[in-house]
A and B are shown apart, each in its own frame.
Chain A
Amino acid sequence: MRVLTLDDLDDMVLGATLLGTGGGGDPYIARLMVRQAMEDFGTVKIVTPSELDPDGLVLTVAVIGAPTVISEKVPAGPEFIGVVNALATYLGKKPVAIMPIEVGGMNTLIPLAVAAELGLPVIDADSMRRAFPQIEMTVFTLAGIPCSPMSVADEKGNLMVFETTDNQMAEKLARSAVMQLGLANGISCYSMSVRQVAESGIQGSMTYCVELGKRLMAVQRGESGAFDEFLKFAEAKIYFSGKIIDLDRRTTDGFAKGTVVIEHMTDPNRTMHIEIQNELLIATEDGKPIITTPDLICILDYENAQPITTETLAYGQRVNVIGLPCAPEWHQPGMLDLVGPKAFGYDIPYVKMGGTK
C-alpha cells in the first residue's frame, strides 16, 4: 500500500502523458480534479490485489468523449461518482476498490478523484497501460471478461446502465450515447472480482506510470545519465531523431487520422513516417515497420524531452522518437486481432519489441 502524494501526482501526470502515446487526452485537467478532490476529501491509497478480499468487487471509472470538448466542458464530478454508484446498485454489491481501465492519458487520474470522494483505494492495475481509442481494446477482452453491464452518465443526472452481447457492441452503444450526452462523460465497465484483476489485469500499472514519470522528469531537469536510466527502466530505445517536415491530418471516415513525416537529424536520406489514429500507432522507415501497435510510440521534444501529443505536433519540431514495449500481459493469443496493426486497418506485420515488465 502506498499513499499518493501531490509530488507523486506530478510524476504520474508526466508518465501518463508519455503512456498516452500521443493521445489519451491531456492529463492536466484530470490533475486539477484530483488536487481538488484530495483537498476536499483527503488522500488516496494505492493497493495491490493481494491486499484485498479476492471476492471483493472492483469497479472501473473513466472519462469518455473528446479531449477538445473536455477542455471546454470541464468535468463536474457527479458523472463519475454516478456511474460507479449506478453499477454497484445494478450489481447489488459495494466495491472494495476503484481501478483505471487505461493508464495512459487523462484516464490515469480520473479514478483517483473518484476514489478520494468515495473513500476507496485504487487498485494498482489496469487493462491497457497505454491509451487506446476503443473500450474493447483491453487485456480483459482477451481474457473473455465482459465489458458490460456498463454505465454512462453526464453531469446533469442523465444516466444509463446497459448490457450487451459482446465488448465490440458495448463500444458502439457507449459511443453513440456520449454523442447525445455532450462528449464529456463518465463511464464504468468491466466490473470484476479482485481475483480476476490479479489473474487477468496488467499488474502494477499505476506504480509503473509514476516511476516512468519520475525518470522522465529527471531527464527534463538535465540530470546526468538520466536519459539512459529512463530508457533502461522502460526497456525503451530512441529509434529516430529528426525534424518534422510534413504533417497530414485527415478526418475521412470517423476517427481523426494522419501521418507525420520526420527527416533524420544528420542523414537527409532517412525519413520516418508515423501513422496517427488518435494515438501514434505505426512507425516505418522506407516502408519497413519499425515500431508497431500495441508497442508504444512516443514523440519527445528533442530539447526538453516533453512528450508531444498528436494535437500539438507541428511542422519544424525537433524530436526523438522512442519505442516502448507494451505491457507483457498483452502477449497472449488474440492480441494482434484486437490491437495489432491490422485491427487499425494497416496491412503490415507486427514487429515484436519484447519487454519483461
Chain B
Amino acid sequence: MSRLKIGIDVGGTNTDAVVVDEDGQVIASTKSATTLDPSDGIAKALSEVIAGVDKSKITQAMLGTTHPANAIIQRRNLQTVGVLRLAAPSSLAIRPGAAWPKDLHASVIGPSAIVGGGYEYDGREIAPLEEKAIREFAQKCKGKVSAIAVSCAFAPANYDQELRAGVILAEELGADFPVSLSHQVGQIGLLERENATILNASLFGVAEGVVNGFHNALKGHGLKVDSFLTQNDGTLMTAEEAIRLPILTVGSGPTNSMRGACALAKLSDALVIDVGGTSADCGILVDGFPRESAAAIEVGGVRTNFRMPDLISIGLGGGTIVRQDGNGVKCGPDSVGYKVITEALINGGSTLTLSDISTKGGRLSGFGDASKLSGVSDEVVKQALAWVDEQIQNLSDRMKASRSTMPLIAVGGGSHLIPKKIAGIAEVITPNHHAVANAFGAAIAEASGTVDRVYRYAEQGRDACLDEARRLATEAAVRAGADAKQVRITAVIEVPMSYLPGQGCRVQVKAAGPLAS
C-alpha cells in the first residue's frame, strides 16, 4: 500500500497544503488565504486538500508555520520568563537581557539570576552548581512568570548542570512547570543562546495553540497520523517537541520554499528565486540544503546564534506598482501586495502593477482580463520588463558563488516575471506545483541531529574527534525519528579557534535522513 504525507505551510499571506506520495509526486494541492487565527486556515486547507484522497493511506502530516516568528515580531501573546544563568563567577559583567529592545524586555523578561555553575572549555566546572540559589530563585519566580529559561556556560558540550537545574526547578515549582534548557535550543555563544532560550520559553503558549490547532484539524478529519513541524534548517521535529522548542521554527518559511522548489525541480544544486506579491527572495541550494548566512541573526531585534538561509530580498513582485516617470517608468518599491487579485488593472482595479505588465508582455496568461490593458503603451511594458530583467540578473549574480553557470528555479505567485534567459544561468525552470513549493518542502522534510562543540585535536587527534562528532550527530538524528539505515552526514564545519595554540577547533556536524516508517 502506498503511503501518503500531508504538507501544510502557513505563510504571511497564504496557507498552502499538499498531499504527496512515496515517490514525491503531488497528489493534491490547495492554496488559501492565511487567517487571523492560523488554526482556521490550517483546518480549511486540510479539508480542501484531502477531499479527493484516500484518507486511510495518510500516515504523516508536516506543518511549517511563521506563527511563532510573527508573535515575536508583533510582541503578541508572549509569556513572562524567569532567566537563570549557571555561570558565576564568570559572565557577571553582562546581565541577562542586555541589548534587548526595551518593549520586548518589558513584556518578556521577569526575575533573573546568575548563580554558581558552568563549565570551562576543557570540561572542568567553573563552579559547582549552586543548588540553594536555584531553589531561592524558583521561589522568587513563583506566581510571577509562566516559564523559566536556563542557560549554562559551555552547555553545548556538557549539559549535566542544566539537567540538574531542571530537576530542582521541578521540585520547587511542580513537574509540569515549563522550563527551557539552553542546550536544546542553541549553539556556542552563551549570550545568543540565552536570548534564544528566553524567546523560546516566552513562546510556549503560542506553540501549544498552534500544535493544538493542527492536531484538532487532523482529528476533525479522523486522521490518526504522526505529526511534525519543520525547523529553521528544513528538517523536522515532532509536534510534541515543537511545543517545547517553538523558537526552532522561526526561520522555516524560506527554507521550506527553497527545499520544496529544489525537490519539485529534481535538483540539489541551484539558485532559487521566490517571487511573491511584494518581494523576490533569492537563495542558493547546495546538496539540497540552503546555504546559510554567516552573520548573527536577529529575531525581533534580539541577537541569536541561529543559522538561517542566506537570502537576498528585493522589492519586486506581482503587485509591485508601476508609474510613469517623465519619459521613463518607475517600478516600486511599493506594492499592492496580496490585493493584486482586486487592485491590478487586469482584475478590474485601478493600479498598474507588474502583473499587468507581465500579461501585456506575454509572460503571464490566464490571470484576469488582458483586454483591460488597452491603455498601457508598449513602450511602458518594454521599459518595465527591462527593469525587471536587470533586477533579476543582479539578484542571481549576487547570490551565485562561482562563475560557472547553474540552473535557476523560479517559484511563487509572481514567478512569471522571471525572464527565460539570464546571463550565467544554464536554464530557468518553473516546476509544476511551484505555487505550493512551501507546503511541498514541508511534506518532504527529513529528521536531523546536530552537534556543536569544541574539540582539542592535540589530545585525541582530528580523525577521532570528527568521528565522534559524526556519531553523536547521527545518533541525534535517529532519536529525532530518522531511519537509521538512511541517515547521512549533511554538513561538517570546522572552525579553528584563534589565539589558542594546541589545535582547539569548533566542530559543527549535522546528520539527516528520511523519517523511519
Q: With A35-B99, A73-B126, A317-B294 in contact, do A66 and B191 touch (Cβ < 8 Å)? A: no
Q: With A73-B153, A249-B495 in contact, do A183 and B402 touch (Cβ < 8 Å)? A: no
Complex-state Cα separation, A143 to B432, whole angstroms:
72
In this complex, the interface size class of chain A, counting residues with CB under 8 Å from chain B, is 35 or more
B371: chain A residues at CB < 8 Å are none
Give the residue among A71, A184, A306 with the most B Cβ atoms within 10 A.
A71
* A245 and B120 within 8 A (CB): no
Complex-state Cα separation, A184 to B503, whole angstroms:
17
State the majority secondary structure of interface residues on B: loop
> Does A195 make an interface contact (CB < 8 A)?
no
Which chain B residues (481-499) contact chain A, with CB distance < 8 Å? Answer: 494-499
* A254 and B153 within 8 A (CB): no
> Does B36 make an interface contact (CB < 8 A)?
no
Q: With A32-B191, A33-B93, A36-B93 in contact, do A72 and B496 touch (Cβ < 8 Å)? A: no
Q: How far is the CB of B391 from chain A (nearest CB, A)?
A: 15
Complex-state Cα separation, A184 to B89, whole angstroms:
12
Name the residue of chain B whose CB is nearest to the CB of A22: B498
A251: chain B residues at CB < 8 Å are 457, 462, 496, 503-505
* A29 and B94 within 8 A (CB): yes
* B497 and A256 within 8 A (CB): yes
* A312 and B294 within 8 A (CB): yes
A183: chain B residues at CB < 8 Å are 120-121, 500
Which chain A residues (290-345) contact chain B, with CB distance < 8 Å? Answer: 303, 306, 308, 310-318
Complex-state Cα separation, A312 to B91, whole angstroms:
24
* A73 and B91 within 8 A (CB): yes
> Does A74 make an interface contact (CB < 8 A)?
yes
* A250 and B496 within 8 A (CB): yes
Which chain A residues (121-168) contact chain B, with CB distance < 8 Å? Answer: 133, 155-156
Q: Which of B92, B120, B403 contacts A268 (CB 8 A)?
A: B403
> Does B376 make an interface contact (CB < 8 A)?
no
* A245 and B402 within 8 A (CB): yes
* B506 and A76 within 8 A (CB): no
* A314 and B294 within 8 A (CB): yes
* B98 and A72 within 8 A (CB): no
* B398 and A72 within 8 A (CB): no
Q: How far is the CB of B320 from chain A (nearest CB, A)?
A: 21
B501: chain A residues at CB < 8 Å are 175, 254-255
A258: chain B residues at CB < 8 Å are 496
Taken residue by residue from 41 to 85, chain A's Cβ proximity to chain B (1 for < 8 Å, 0 otherwise) reads as 000000000000000000000000111110111111110000000
* B502 and A256 within 8 A (CB): no
A77: chain B residues at CB < 8 Å are 92-93
> Does B3 make an interface contact (CB < 8 A)?
no
Taken residue by residue from 190 to 230, chain B's Cβ proximity to chain A (1 for < 8 Å, 0 otherwise) reads as 11100000000000000000000000000000000000000
> Does B101 make an interface contact (CB < 8 A)?
no
> Does A15 make an interface contact (CB < 8 A)?
no
Q: With A73-B120, A73-B121, A251-B457 in contact, do A67 and B93 touch (Cβ < 8 Å)? A: no
* B93 and A76 within 8 A (CB): yes
B471: chain A residues at CB < 8 Å are none
> Does A243 make an interface contact (CB < 8 A)?
yes
> Does A37 make an interface contact (CB < 8 A)?
yes
Give the residue among A67, A155, A313 with the most B Cβ atoms within 10 A.
A155
Name the residue of chain B whose CB is nearest to the CB of A71: B189
Name the residue of chain A whose CB is nearest to the CB of B312: A303
Q: With A76-B89, A76-B90, A245-B402 in contact, do A311 and B121 touch (Cβ < 8 Å)? A: no
Complex-state Cα separation, A35 to B93, whole angstroms:
10
> Does B105 make an interface contact (CB < 8 A)?
no
Q: How far is the CB of B188 from chain A (nearest CB, A)?
A: 6
On A, residues with C-beta under 8 Å from B are 23, 25, 28-29, 32-33, 35-37, 65-69, 71-78, 113, 133, 155-156, 175, 179, 182-184, 243, 245, 249-251, 254-256, 258, 263, 268, 278, 303, 306, 308, 310-318
16 residue pairs bridging A and B, Cβ less than 8 Å apart? A32-B99, A32-B191, A36-B94, A68-B504, A74-B87, A74-B191, A76-B89, A76-B91, A78-B92, A156-B89, A182-B121, A183-B500, A251-B462, A255-B500, A311-B498, A312-B294
* Given A254-B502, A268-B403, 14 new contacts (CB under 8 A): A67-B499, A68-B500, A68-B506, A69-B500, A71-B192, A72-B190, A74-B94, A76-B89, A245-B401, A251-B503, A255-B500, A255-B501, A256-B496, A316-B284
On B, residues with C-beta under 8 Å from A are 87-95, 98-99, 118, 120-121, 126-127, 153-154, 188-192, 284, 291, 294-295, 303, 398, 400-403, 454, 457, 462, 494-506
